[in-house]
Amino acid sequence: MPVYSKKVMDHFTKPRNVGVIENPDGYGKVGNPVCGDLMEMYIKVEDDIIKDIKFKTFGCGSAIATSSMVTELAIGKNIDEALKITRNDVANELDGLPPQKMHCSNLAADALHAAIEDYKKKKKK
Ligand code: FES
């Protein structure tokens, strides 16, 4: 049984920003090649600042905890700042993940980046 930090358990049992945003400014969907789990991320952006963010996942507990944490890290940030959030930042903020669960944190950061790229693409049109 992997040992989870208190913060992981807190975000897993009380995930922040779960849900869907209708008509998002950016949307990202990624799959985890390791386990096949899925993550969706929605963002609302004003003046390049992430004003709202929601996620939905068909992932394990670590995927839920890392996405919850990534939404807290990203909200209120400029999109270019938010693009710099890495899976390691997320894991560090959660006081670490068991090594066999590190792959789960890929989903959260990757889905956030995908949503921001989507926003940037739409803005150019
Ligand atoms: Fe699939 Fe964790 S086992 S995201």
Instruction: Check pLDDT > 80 for residue 125.
Output: no
φ and ψ at 40, to 5 degrees? -125, 140
pLDDT at 95 over 90: yes
pLDDT of 68-82, one tens digit each? 999 999 999 999 999
* Structural tokens at position 38: 């899925």
Q: How many other C-beta atoms can be found within 10 angstroms of the C-beta atom of residue 125?
A: 4
Lookup: tokens for 28: 């990202």
19-52 tens-digit pLDDT: 999 999 999 999 988 889 999 999 999 999 999 9
Mean pLDDT across 51-80: 96
Q: State how far the Cα of 19 lies from the Cα of 56, in Å rounded to an integer.
A: 6
Catalytic residue list contains 60: no
- Closest-CA residue, ligand 1 atom 3, reads 60
Sign of CA dihedral 119, 121, 67, 61: positive
Instruction: Give the C-alpha separation, 44 to 116, whole Å.
Output: 10
Q: Does residue 110's CB lie within 6 angstroms of at least one atom of ligand 1?
A: no
From 9, 35, 80, 86, active-site residue: 35
Task: Tell me the CATH architecture of domain 6-119.
Answer: Alpha-Beta Complex (3.90)
**Catalytic position from the list 43, 104, 109, 111:** 104
Radius of gyration of the chain (CA): 14
Ligand 1 midpoint to CA 38 (Å): 9
The structure's pTM equals 0.93
**Ligand 1 atom closest to residue 107's alpha carbon, by position in its atom list:** 4
Task: Flag whether pLDDT at 17 surpasses 70.
Answer: yes
Residues 102-124 pLDDT 10s: 888 888 999 999 999 999 999 88
Of the candidates 61, 11, 56, 59, the one whose C-alpha atom is nearest the C-alpha of residue 34 is 59
End-to-end CA distance of the chain: 49
